[in-house]
Structure 1
Amino acid sequence: MKKIFLWCVSAFLCLSCAENKSALTVTVTNPLATERAGEMVEVSMSEVSDLLKLADTAQIVVLDKEGEQIPYQITYDGKLIFPVTVASGATAAYTIEPGTPAEVDVKACGRQYPERADDMAWENDLVGFRAYGPALQARGEKGFGYDLFTKYNTTEPILEDLYASELNPESWKKVNELRKTDKKAADELVKTFSYHVDHGYGMDCYAVGPTLGAGVAALMVNDTIIYPWCYKTGEVLDNGPLRFTVKLDFNPLTVKGDTTVVETRVITLDAGSHLNRTAVSYTSLKETMPVVTGIVLHEPDGAVTTSAEGGYMTYVDPTTGPDNGKILMGAAFPADVKSMKTVLFSPEEKKMRNNADGHVLAVSDYEPGSEYVYYWGFAWDKADIKTPEAWNRYMADFAQRLRNPLKVEIK
């Protein structure tokens, strides 16, 4: 099992005794009439250090009300994050104090895969994702959208194994030799190691093509989407155990004749969540413009639920291949959304989009110099959320939590 030790900086603790606090209390209040379980909260690590008078080499622990350690992570931007559970309309208290942290399982992680055309792929204990990279674009492939990896029967990282199996050169050598004499047998051999086949813990059974895929945001001019293609450069900022964060920069877009507009995305996936937080910004944009979040439709009359007022939308995707179940897609929005709608492709565009049928779109405005923040992700009906009804409840609750955040006090 992949594990990591939690250290603030290194292995020793130094306190300046007399005037120091020995512990801090973090009080978390839930304003909603529903329980919040496993939700991640953030406090400033610099504030913790100042209040506890910690040296740069200090260690800390985070304790629940029973005095048991809970996992935490210090993020690239100086936040101390940890999961909390707070009953409906209630308050829960957690303690931060000097101590030796316990060993923690990695629940969120990822990396760039140069061996697979520069995929940037990441996962947590529930779901997996990837964004297509510069090597794929160099081949002329239009990998605009996010792709998905389903996951079940395990909470451990699976992407390393999936990629290693899919890309094993010895396996493909055997396939290519066999294809010379028996193509059907060669195809059957591929199924024994491909990540497009479920081997009991997850797979890639989602079709992206030249679309917005699983929830990419894009600017729009006169109802025409400006597709962003693949990312240009990527930097992993957080890599577990509880949060994965990656920054992706893109090649310049052409927006109303301006060829200097550059998109940046910061994508964050926390342990225990089906959805990624994504903050999108555009440099050099001269005016406020519509921005859409899109989920590709693989059926013209597919099961779509939209609630601009509630701040979420969902779609039931049929998946690729037989017997792969349904993928329950969704996006949620902390800020008001102008509209949500289904837009079907014309026959001509359908051919350009690998026979996808359209998008379900959430439409907002992007103001130059701001960030457009939204959440996107999925569930698989072979895993923990089995029905569209349960998924819609999850998404509605998630949106309500975004709009009614936990209140966190430290003293």
Structure 2
Amino acid sequence: MKIRNQLKLILNCCFTVLFFTACISKNKSDEMEIKVSNSLNFDRKEIVTVKRSQIEKIVKNNSEKNVRVKLKGTDKFLTTQWIDYDKDGKGDELLFQAEVQAKSVADFVIMIDTVKEPQSKVVAYSRFVPERIDDYAWENNRVAFRAYGPVAQQLVEEGKEGGTLSSGIDLWLKKVDYSIIDDWYAKNGKEAGYYHIDHGEGYDPYHVGASRGTGGAGVWVNDSLQVGKNYTNYKTIAKGPLRTIFELDYAPWSQYKIKETKRISLDLGSNFSKFDIILKAKEQFPNYTIGITLHDKKGEININKTKGWFRHWEPIDKTFLGEGIVLNPELVTQAFTNNATTPDQSNLLIVTNPSQKITFYAGFVWTGSKQVNEVTQWDEMLNKQAEIIQNPLQVTVN
């Protein structure tokens, strides 16, 4: 009996070892390593992209809903997001936020697991806002923006109240890192002008009017800027939580009948919206010009054509607001201030080569948010953004 019990114990141990060996083997086959490299001399915390084709070995026999990413050597799972560009029900890209020290490599593991991912109110987010005519608004934990739609244009053209006629980009100034779009619009619906007053979370004191706001565009012809009107259609591609992406279409504008589509994206943690512009025209157009409003011309301007960033620093109430455009300097032909006597027509203008496609970044920082205290810090952020554009984080999947 004793020998039989000993044999039974040995067999149980063997089965246990085989079971765990099989599990380990299974888990290893459902894992891949990701290396994220930072070639710059400052620490970075950014959203990185892994294409579905790079991790097909994992997803082909598993649900993409169970794909998880964690920092290698830890049990720290990260928030992920799939982007389905063609809306076929399959994610085309997987996103996660990577922290990588200067001149370093960070290692991550992508795997299959049913563990729940961390949730947060700190997100990137966007949506169409029918309750405020037809705005399209977007935000993350640092900044918020909006653009104006066709009904808002129609109201102006019919001489009715409440409309806005502008292809400029509006800024909302946030003090908090959580989402405020839904709440501010809801409260503004009950109390007109609510979001123009700071109730502790920030507010919208920024005037766009017929100006370019921050990132509105036009064509510079004969010392005049020809611009479009409000967007005509929108398409939401991804609401968040790590990256929000959407498209705005504009009716043909200028003497060249330029039809414009803006694909705009905003990442969690960034002060800059990315504008991927697609242009089609009946006639060859001479340039594509991006602008920043100068409001009452009391601000300070810095044009850094060599590095490809252009900024405005202006007083707003008892604080300061810094606006900026960043792009590949090779695209820029000239940049200058256009001071006008007509209201909302004074802009800092960045003139680029004519092309069917162009990418630039438009962003801002507000001293009321405590993200910066002075203009030199804003210049440093613009310098870093220019370097980031030229030197994206390198992602390698093994």
Q: If the length of structure 1 is used for normalisation, what is the TM-score?
A: 0.82
Tell whether 2:245 aligns with 1:245. yes
- 2: distance between equivalents of 1:358 and 1:314? 14
Of 148, 158, 162, the match for 2:184: 162
Distance 1:67 1:289, change over 3 A: farther
Distance 1:99 1:326, change over 3 A: same
Question: What does 1:7-406 correspond to in 2, within 5 Å?
Answer: 21-36=29-44, 38-51=45-58, 53-56=60-63, 58-65=65-72, 66-77=74-85, 78-100=92-114, 101-106=116-121, 107-139=123-155, 140=157, 141-152=164-175, 154-168=176-190, 171=191, 194-256=194-256, 259=257, 261-287=258-284, 289-319=286-316, 322-323=317-318, 325-336=319-330, 337-345=332-340, 347=341, 350=342, 355-356=343-344, 358-367=346-355, 370-383=356-369, 384-406=371-393
Residues 287-317 of structure 1 show CA distances to partners (whole Å, capped at 9, x for unaligned) of 2521111000023352111111111111113
> Structure 1 vs Structure 2: percent identity of aligned residues?
27
- How much has 1:221 moved relative to structure 2? 2.8
- How much has 1:57 moved relative to structure 2? 5.6
Which is higher, the Rg of structure 1 or of structure 2? Answer: 2
Amino acid paired to 1:237? I
Contact 1:307 1:340 (C-alpha < 8 Å) held by counterparts:
no
- 2: distance between equivalents of 1:333 and 1:58? 35
Distance 1:197 1:238, change over 3 A: same
- How much has 1:56 moved relative to structure 2? 4.5
Contact 1:20 1:53 (C-alpha < 8 Å) held by counterparts:
no
Distance 1:42 1:206, change over 3 A: same
**Runs (4+) off by over 4 Å:** 17-20
Helix, strand or coil for the counterpart of 1:195? helix
Distance 1:329 1:71, change over 3 A: same
- 2: distance between equivalents of 1:288 and 1:89? 42
How many matched pairs?
A: 357
- How much has 1:371 moved relative to structure 2? 1.5
Amino acid paired to 1:282? L
- How much has 1:379 moved relative to structure 2? 0.9
Contact 1:20 1:51 (C-alpha < 8 Å) held by counterparts:
no
- How much has 1:124 moved relative to structure 2? 0.5
Helix, strand or coil for the counterpart of 2:381? helix
- 2: distance between equivalents of 1:359 and 1:69? 45
Contact 1:21 1:52 (C-alpha < 8 Å) held by counterparts:
no
Q: Which runs of 5+ in 1 are unaligned?
A: 1-14, 173-189
Amino acid paired to 1:39? E
Helix, strand or coil for the counterpart of 1:255? coil
Helix, strand or coil for the counterpart of 1:289? coil
Q: If the length of structure 2 is used for normalisation, what is the TM-score?
A: 0.84
Contact 2:372 2:378 (C-alpha < 8 Å) held by counterparts:
yes
- 1: distance between equivalents of 2:325 and 2:382? 8
Contact 1:136 1:143 (C-alpha < 8 Å) held by counterparts:
no
Tell me how large the CA RMSD over aligned residues is. 2.1
Helix, strand or coil for the counterpart of 2:277? strand
Residues 311-337 of structure 1 show CA distances to partners (whole Å, capped at 9, x for unaligned) of 111111333xx43x1211111113522
- 2: distance between equivalents of 1:213 and 1:81? 30
- 2: distance between equivalents of 1:19 and 1:126? 38
Helix, strand or coil for the counterpart of 1:156? coil
Q: Which runs of 5+ in 2 are unaligned?
A: 1-22, 86-91, 158-163
- How much has 1:373 moved relative to structure 2? 0.3
Contact 2:67 2:111 (C-alpha < 8 Å) held by counterparts:
yes
